Structure 1
Amino acid sequence: MQIATMPYSERLSTHTPLKILYVQPGTSAFAGIERVVDTICSGLTDQYGSDFEVDVLYTSVHKNRPEGRNYTVIDRVASSRIELMRNFRKVIASKDYDLIVVPQIEPTVICMASCIGIRRRFAVHLHGNPKLERSHIKAKILFLLMKTLFLPKIASVFGTSPRQLTSFNAMFKSKRPHYWVPNPVRKFDLSDAGQARVDDNVTFINIGRFSFQKGQDILLAAFSELRKKRSDVLLKIVGYGDGEAALRAEIDRRGLTDVVSLEHHPENPQPALAASDVYVSTSRWEGWSLAICEALRFGLPVIATDCEFGPSDILVDSRLGMLVPVDRPEELVNAMIYYCDNLRGEQAHASFRQEFVDCYSPERVLEVHANALRRAAAA
């Protein structure tokens, strides 16, 4: 038995808002993907309330989750995979949703498998690098299920960068409609950005989850080499995650405790960014990079590892920053030396960086998301 929905054409003729369900990742921290989904859904409700009725499903307890959201929050915390699948099915069957948007490939497969027999449209929203995320047996099985069973039933594929979508299509031999939906980059109070530093040190900063993907170990190795050549440098690593203890041990092992700090700004990186000079991203892979865009919002030049896509989609002008190979640590060190020696001249491009990142402001990106949702719901 299938549960049908009102055809999209009929909704248009009756001016009925499209019913959209976004699924939040089953993580513990409210950070990158979680913040993106929250910003998009809040904006859609505020600016496109007559076009969309937006619900957001939370299946775990997120630290620092904002309260009082304007979209409909559905809390269904699951303690097991079976309970998660039951929750998916109950929630999705409870309303005639026109489109369910699920982040990443693995959760999409689990969600769609939970809803067999329920007639709904699904969109998978890519946030990372699929080629590098099928690293364990469970992921490989789910990726195979996506390719063989569920991809033909997907209404659309959303991606955070154009080359990410190209990579997905090549990997899965996908012919499904796909849309680039850039991540919205929030705005900050920039009144204290770009102010003169109280000392002559050059402060590098990295923001992200403490994890293998984000490559803070690569950064520490490069910074250790940089300290041998430049003594007036500091490093801030801002983030959260299970890798914190290992990072602290590595900082201590390298004798960097006096010049490297680990900081926590879970809701707002503004204090750390406003007091820094150069942003460094050493990710082994990315889908996009909100952290890079937020650094540009503060006018900081960016050094980033060229991890196939994401940073290279953003740093399209030399005034924005430099790309270095992931596997060439000496080039990362040389880039850091360049900014040590040329910081004043590079600071002249701060306004260019701030104006550039305005193209990803929430109000501009929301229109792109709204159009993609309309098309996916009509697929």
Structure 2
Amino acid sequence: MIIEKIAESKFNDSVFDSKVFGKNFTDHMLVAKYKDGKWDEPKIMPYGALEFTPAAMAFHYGQAIFEGMKAYKNENDEVFIFRPDRNFERFNLSAERLNMPTVPEEIFMEGIQTIVDLDRQWVPKNYGTSLYIRPTMFATEEAISARSSNEFMFVVLLAYAPAYYDKPLSVKIADFYSRSAQGGVGFAKCAGNYAASFYPTQEAQKDGYDQVIWTDSIEHKYIEEAGTMNVMVRIGDKLLTAPTSERILNGVTRDSLLTLAKDSGMDVEIRPVAVQEMYDAYKDGQLKEVFGCGTAVVVNSYNAVGFAEERAPIEILSDEESFASILKGKLRDIQYGLVEDPYGWRVKVGK
């Protein structure tokens, strides 16, 4: 691996005062290029602009994927990445679905460990903050031809990550727009999935909501995801979430929370969750919590759900009563190294 260090770091402690997610990039980035059927030697270099032709095929045919993971620092200045093996597996599943080359483990895993170690001063210690790691790959071949590209670029960016949301959100259940369809790319982290979500979200915001709860694309009877996150519902003392599928992202945070919930003795069901079931539970006073979960946000509770034209307020429970708060606390304690990690989820960076 080629390493070209920045002449002078732009790091300053004031970056940790920022409240903006994903705008404060670290000193370095990793770049590897794919051409003639093989990857070249990856290079870590100072973060900066890359040169592209407007005919780069990603701009025209959408071959672009990404992942998201985080690094944390404990009080002993040890740095850990959370479950990068799962992101590596999912990244290559996305690549295969979009007919892109897979990235070798030594480029993805070793590359991320090396660049995080190099920029470890950017990893904050404050509880609730972290260093966001964004691996991405996109088509770079210069051609306007509706086919798969023959050339790609793999890039890893790092950015300081404050809390993503600082308040509960309201969500409207989608009854027309869909995030994904059976046989499509809903399980992949491809750029187009997110671009397609922006307009329906904007429309929901016009109705006074923050985000959308996506439903199945055929009948809009079953909930699937919320915004760009997996979604969980608590009815009574039962925690429900939809099973992953070709339409639903297999979230790393989702999987972690479900493991913690089951090991904590919570009643968990992974099954289709009907909109009508949620509405009936709301009417009966049994819809206790609805919350989204994902790498960027970790866990975010919803204080209102829109069922068609009816806005259903949901009381935000105390930290001691809330499944969302309990699970978020357990997960973050592992991520920050405050408790033992019985699952082997933390991967230490450097010595």
TM-score (norm 2): 0.34
Give the strand-richer structure, 1 or 2: 2
Greater length-normalized contact order (CA 8 Å, ≥ 6 residues apart)? 2
TM-score (norm 1): 0.32
Give the helix-richer structure, 1 or 2: 1
